[in-house]
Structure 1
Amino acid sequence: MAFLNFVARQLQSQAPAVKVDLTGKTVLVLGANTGLGFEAVKHFASMNPGRLILACRSQSRGKAALQKLKAETNYTKAELWLVDLANFKSVTKFADKFEQDGGRLDILVANAAVAIGEYEATKDGWEISLQVNCISTPLVALRLLPTMIKTAHQHSTVPRVVVVSSSVHAQVEIEKGVYEKPHMFKTLGSSEYCTKKVMESRYPLTKLLNVFFVRALNARVPASMQLIVNNVDPGFCRSELSRRATGMQAVMFTLMKAALAFSPEVGSRRLVWAAVAQQDQPDTLRGQYITAAKVDLVSDFVQSPQGIKVQDALWDDLLVVLSKVDPKVTAIVDTYLS
């Protein structure tokens, strides 16, 4: 039934991209040079933002994206900022630069992610998809939080943090043997834990952790704070995420893409909706999980009493990890989050 529901959703016609006036506002998109990120940037460019920042890992691919964006939209105020989410020093350098830049930040779309089917460690010693999708992404969001809150106060606006997740988060749970022990992230990222079988479901797990992060962060954002944090599921889209799939998995991805996948442009409409829709009642999107231009339900596991315990434990453990990566995170959490 779950698969049939997935097929039905993929075959439904999708609403056109919502459009608002972003004059004077700053939009930042992580993973902006290709796929969903680039298509979302094109939509944002059509809304005349004051600044549109493409955060990319590659200088050459980022420059190519800027040129393509200008050619296809005539938007000339886009900027390329480099950040490698698989390198904590790169992330902190990126955040420091934004902090020193002194500008406003109205929309952050955390779109960058990797899908890896086998264990691979970064230079920082973490399994790469866990670091990119679930540690560095929250690090960027938390480091830029003061800038977004300052933007809200100075410009009487409601900034938004949009974290891209996926419906595949419902395919996995976190075992009792993991969440009842300390140092969950260390366990989930260890080479001993990351067996071949575990890595087959690593991407869904990272999307589950994205859901938990948004819900935990939203629970700690004071009701009086003008800040919206949400998750968005772009649907099953043709993208580069599966480029490292091999064997039967690669065959299945190819067949499913041909039969069911949205184009990146169609999927990007959902990212844009989460970032700019409901301007007259933005609070309806606080902490929500968004699919096809509407609020949807998260998995039963996330909503269960067990899931709520896991959510709080993951938050506490994430802060321990991030405090070692970047001590500024601790001060930000203590200052702004209840």
Structure 2
Amino acid sequence: MSSRDLPPLTSNYWRRFWRSQHTKPPPFPKGIDLVGQVAIVTGSNTGLGFESSRQFLTLGLSRLIMAVRSVERGEEAAGKLRASFPNAVVDVWLLDMSSYASIQAFVAKVEKDLGRLDIAVLNAGVNRLAFKVNETTHHEETVQINYLSTFLLAVLLLPSLKNKSPPGSPGRLTVISSALANIAVLPDHSSTAMLTALDDQKKFGQAAYGNSKLLGHLFLWKLMDLEYVKSEDVVMNLIEPGFLKGTEFNRDVKGGLAIGLKLFQALTARPVVDAGTTVIDATVVKGSEAHGCYLADWEVRPFPPFLYTQEGRDTMDKLWGETMTEFGFANARGVLEGMKR
């Protein structure tokens, strides 16, 4: 049963969080073999992206594209993987998720230089604690990178995942999300555009990260409603890897808050090696049953409760329209229409 068909969860979020954080990964099925396959992992020089890359290579992945903002740091991380997996090809490609131009250049390189593409994991993201405006798009950076840039990249990669994966073996596209989307509350946008409300510094707060992830849920549900992406072409989903330790994701947290975070991590955080298995599960273990779904704890779960309400559906429609307008420069709507052919 897909996420959209499941009833929304109504139990206490923090009780679910505690239970989730202490859930252990199930064993992988025997016989998984990724020999010959090619994968892209964004933000793969550290943390979950690096660990996911390592686990793909452990399963025999033949070629890994490490899509990173810093080629120097990417090469340093790639060196470690090359040493451990000398039979695999590990490439480092520049991808700055704060730049639409960089995203388009990256996709053009995929289309030109890759003869095959099986898996794309969109892991790169930020958790800004202070309000910051993107210099080129003028959107708030958390929403820019976690939502707008991530889903522009997702849309633009769809044709390559469809056309460059072997017949009968659909491409796989997984976007890293967060359970915080379940309790996110979007700012009031009744008298303005949704993206305008999200760009308002007066409405920015600690909930910005969860809000940015909720937008991704709204986008995926609408994408499935419009039937642009078929499971026989590309299996696309969102996953919750858990609240983690052993990553640099919360590097912006300083002072007393950082101390508190470390204590909270010591009590509840999931090891990054366990989190890496959620990526493998979503892209390799799960099949078409995971298409258009949200996964957590290695299971298909319902979307955030907000999506099942009339307000949620109205917000979804509004956000979709604004997002397609935002992506007009890249002909995103035309790309999606082309997926139906």
Do both share a fold (TM > 0.5)?
yes
> Is 1:183 aligned to residue 193 of structure 2?
yes
Name whichever of 255-264 and 222-231 sits farther off: 222-231
| Cα 1:307–1:78 shift into 2, 3 Å | same
Counterparts of 1:315 and 1:93 in 2: how far apart (Å)? 24
- State how 1:49-198 maps to structure 2 within 5 Å: 49-124=61-136, 125-152=138-165, 154-175=166-187, 177-178=188-189, 180-181=190-191, 183-189=193-199, 193-195=200-202, 198=204
1:264 counterpart residue number: 272
2:315 counterpart residue number: 310
Secondary structure, in 3 states, of the residue corresponding to 1:200?
coil
Counterparts of 2:324 and 2:60 in 1: how far apart (Å)? 36
The sequence identity of aligned pairs, in percent, is 28
> Is 1:218 aligned to residue 221 of structure 2?
no
List per-residue Cα deviations over 1:248-306 (Å, max 9, x = no partner).
5323311111111112111111011111113xxx2211111111111112221122222
Q: CA deviation at 1:123?
A: 1.9
1:15 counterpart residue number: 26
The aligned length equals: 326
CA RMSD of aligned residues (A): 2.0
1:289 counterpart residue number: 294
2:208 counterpart residue number: 202
Amino acid at match of 1:84: D
Stretches of 4+ moved more than 6 A in 1?
A: none
> Is 1:336 aligned to residue 310 of structure 2?
no
| Cα 1:249–1:224 shift into 2, 3 Å | closer
Q: Is the 8 A contact 1:139 1:329 kept in 2?
A: yes
Amino acid at match of 1:129: T
Amino acid at match of 1:90: S
Counterparts of 1:271 and 1:34 in 2: how far apart (Å)? 15
> Is 1:251 aligned to residue 264 of structure 2?
no
| Cα 1:222–1:83 shift into 2, 3 Å | closer
Q: CA deviation at 1:167?
A: 0.6
1:273 counterpart residue number: 281
Counterparts of 1:174 and 1:202 in 2: how far apart (Å)? 9
Secondary structure, in 3 states, of the residue corresponding to 2:270?
coil
| Cα 1:233–1:306 shift into 2, 3 Å | same
Q: CA deviation at 1:129?
A: 1.3
Counterparts of 2:79 and 2:301 in 1: how far apart (Å)? 36
Unaligned regions of 5+ residues in structure 1, if any?
Answer: none
2:7 counterpart residue number: none
Counterparts of 1:129 and 1:13 in 2: how far apart (Å)? 30
Amino acid at match of 2:315: V
Q: CA deviation at 1:24?
A: 1.8
Which structure's relative contact order is higher, taking Cα pairs within 8 Å and 6+ residues apart?
2
> Is 1:4 aligned to residue 10 of structure 2?
no
Name whichever of 19-28 and 139-148 sits farther off: 19-28
Name whichever of 259-268 and 154-163 sits farther off: 154-163
Q: Is the 8 A contact 1:18 1:273 kept in 2?
A: no
When the two structures are superposed, what TM-score results if normalisation uses the length of structure 1? 0.90
Counterparts of 1:337 and 1:183 in 2: how far apart (Å)? 29
Counterparts of 2:340 and 2:194 in 1: how far apart (Å)? 22
When the two structures are superposed, what TM-score results if normalisation uses the length of structure 2? 0.89
